[in-house]
Chains A and B, each alone.
Chain A
Amino acid sequence: MTCLTDRQIQKLYKISCQIRQDIIKMLLAAGSGHSAGSLGMADVFTALYFGGVLKHNPKRPEWPERDRLLLSNGHICPVLYATLARAGYFPVAKLKTLRKLGSCLQGHPHRKCVPGVENSSGPVAHCAGMAVGMAIAAKADNKKYQVYCLVGDGEQDEGMTWEAAAMAGKYKLDNLTFIMDRNNIQIDGYTENVMPKEPLKTKYEVFGWQVIEIDGHNIRQVIEACEEAKAIYQKPVMIIANTIPGKGVDFMEYEFKWHGNPPNQEQAEKALRQLRSLGGRIMPESE
């Protein structure tokens, strides 16, 4: 198991803080896009790409043995783009082209034009089945890579989510790890008001999954949960990452209206001031 020192963990929080700043700048430049989920998942993405979870190589995005990371809730792609850029997949300067005409950084991810982006997505839940297909293919070929699929909690409303969950259970896909951004908001409001989702842990368990619940802002927990997931035999794993939407920017935190909105100039300046003064001190309560 990866055992990181406190100093290494501190470094990771500095990276996630940098990614959050990138997200704010990108969304300001774009003039549209999704703030809350992107900020909320910065620590998870940092753990995956910088914390030793993913087998990947920014110099060889097509490396056949790489772990596959699929993003189902494609609307939080600013965090994916910022993470990939900071990991060296493409120049950071490109980030400001988000959602601009001719840019490869589409409003929802497009597979064919961004190094490191595995799938085109947009309509939520579509990706869950794709991940199942990739995991089945990997098993058929005796490949050792892990398939990761990042999903939102809102998309648990979609029927197809449960079609995919049933199949992953049927095929005992222990090379498949889902991470759910459990931030309790979706476009129309708080998730349990829009359409009750709980008990999510029990639901996945009866579909044949192992479920691990973590604090999605605790980078150490994210890394450890992913390590644990890889060790689980004959079951797909759902890591429910409890997160705070808009994490790191106080006026965005917990507010569902920030699901699909970008900051304006003034809000962006305020957000960046807050993030810079944090200086990597975005430690979760559980750390």
Chain B
Amino acid sequence: MLNQKLFLSKKIFNKNVDMEATREGWGKALLNLGEKDPNVFVLCADLTDSTKCNYFKDKFLQRFIECGIAEQNMMAVASGLALSGKIPFVSNYAVFSPGINWSQVRVNVCQNGANVKIGGAHAGISVGPDGMSHQALEDMAIMRCLPGMVVLAPCDSLETYKATVAASQHKGPVYLRFAREKTPVMTSQKTPFKIGQAEIFKEGKDVSIIACGPLIYEALAAANELKKQGIDAEVINNHTIKPMDAKTICKSVGKTGVVVTVEEHQVMGGMGSAVCEVLAKNCPVPVEMLGTQDTFGESGQPDELLEKYGMKAKHIIAAVKKAMRRK
């Protein structure tokens, strides 16, 4: 059932599946990139350890720029470094960067064509107890509308590592979001990752579940349960929100004729909206969208919040059935 060509983790459905936060992938990749390329700089605004750029800082202090709690200036400084030939990685919470410094991203980075990589940590509602102010649920929307910006939402720590390396190789601005909590490692070292290429984690013919980020795991769990009920779901890891892989999506939808999108983000303007743009232009079909429904989050444990705000496997199953009735 799982796509064998992707070398997904053999332990993926075991109780002892490896658990690691996606932010670890970012931190480890920064360290690796720092070793390979002396032009790599990392900037942070007083959140070094929690965004995992401490690995880089400990080894490359000269190329680590502590900006203090000044996110606007941090992004502007990054643009100046980039226009001087450096590859700056900006590491901060997504609610602050790009949440606070969107104008600097728009003008200093995008309009100047500055080669800046932006890491949005603690993305999604699963940040948990910190509450609504710290739960980034709008970042993909405000990044994907910027011309030239690539937007990535990798599914686990290994993929975040690969996405960070891919971002460094891409010429131009990249936004990459990742989360705080430990989540299942679904991929392996051998699983391919390419910007702009969605991966079909599980093939199916009845419905396309298109998801991004760690919620892919919920999508796979939903697909397993649906299988028992006689529904053969296709699960797509749509890690590149922009530029979106319209080809893979349309091919899948051509087969299934119905879509459920799943993301830890507002359904307005996020990955699901971007999928709908692709579908409306190429192959319109019924869509159900899971994510936050025009509401902020609140304090709570990550799992409690995903449950309350409707992003667990059981919600995906209900959405699949609802969508299929609309076929």
Contacts and interface: CB of A to CB of B under 8 A. Distances in A.
A228 to B, nearest CB: 24
Interface of A: 110-112, 118-123, 126-138, 140-141, 159-160, 163-164, 166-167
Given A110-B111, A133-B78, 14 more contacts: A111-B113, A119-B112, A122-B107, A123-B103, A126-B72, A126-B103, A129-B77, A132-B73, A133-B79, A134-B80, A159-B72, A163-B72, A164-B77, A167-B77
B81 interface: yes
Q: Taking each of A110, A118, A126, A135, which has the highest tally of chain B beta carbons within 10 Å of its own beta carbon?
A: A126
A136 B72 contact: no
Contacts of B85: 137, 141
Contacts of A136: 65, 77, 80-81
A167 B73 contact: yes
Interface string B75-112: 11111111111101000000000000001100110011
A133 B113 contact: no
A129 B73 contact: yes
Contacts of A134: 80-81, 83-84
Given A133-B84, A166-B68, A126 B77 contact: no
Interface string B233-260: 0000000000000000000000000000
Contacts, number: 100
B63 interface: yes
Interface in B43-94: 62-63, 65, 67-68, 70, 72-86, 88
A68 to B, nearest CB: 8
Nearest to B81: A133
A167 B70 contact: yes
Contacts of A122: 107, 111
Contact of B77 (A112, A119, A133, A138): A133
Interface string B116-132: 00000000000000000
Q: Which 4 A-B pairs have the closest CB atoms?
A: A133-B80, A129-B76, A137-B84, A163-B73
A191 B86 CA distance: 37
Nearest to B110: A120
A131 B80 contact: yes
Question: Which label, helix, strand, loop or mixed, suits the secondary structure of the B interface?
Answer: helix
Given A131-B80, A132-B77, A137 B107 contact: no
B186 to A, nearest CB: 37
B111 A133 contact: no
Most A C-beta atoms less than 10 A away, residue of B74, B76, B79 = B76
A134 B78 CA distance: 9
A160 B80 contact: no
B108 A126 contact: yes
Contacts of B67: 163, 167
26 contacts: A110-B111, A112-B113, A119-B83, A123-B103, A126-B104, A129-B74, A129-B75, A130-B77, A130-B79, A132-B73, A133-B76, A133-B77, A133-B79, A133-B81, A133-B82, A133-B88, A134-B84, A135-B80, A136-B65, A137-B86, A138-B84, A140-B86, A160-B70, A163-B68, A166-B68, A167-B67
Q: Identify the interface centre among B67, B72, B86, B104: most chain A CB within 10 Å of its CB.
A: B72
A163 B84 contact: no
A132 B76 contact: yes
Contact of A166 (B70, B75, B103, B104): B70
Given A120-B107, A120-B111, A167-B67, A127 B86 contact: no
Contacts of B65: 136
A140 B86 CA distance: 10
Nearest to A138: B84
A130 B80 contact: yes
A140 B62 contact: yes
Contacts of A121: 107
A129 B107 contact: no
A109 to B, nearest CB: 10
A119 B73 CA distance: 16
A138 B81 CA distance: 9
Contacts of B81: 133-134, 136-137
Contacts of A123: 103, 107
Contacts of A119: 83, 112
Contacts of B108: 126-127, 129-130
Q: Which of B77, B78, B108, B112 has the most CB of A within 10 A?
A: B77
B83 A160 contact: no
A132 B63 contact: no
Contacts of B103: 123, 126
A120 B73 contact: no
Interface in B279-310: none
Nearest to B66: A170
B84 to A, nearest CB: 3
Contacts of A160: 70, 72-73, 76, 104
Contacts of B76: 126-130, 132-133, 160, 164
Nearest to A143: B84
B70 A163 contact: yes
Nearest to B84: A137
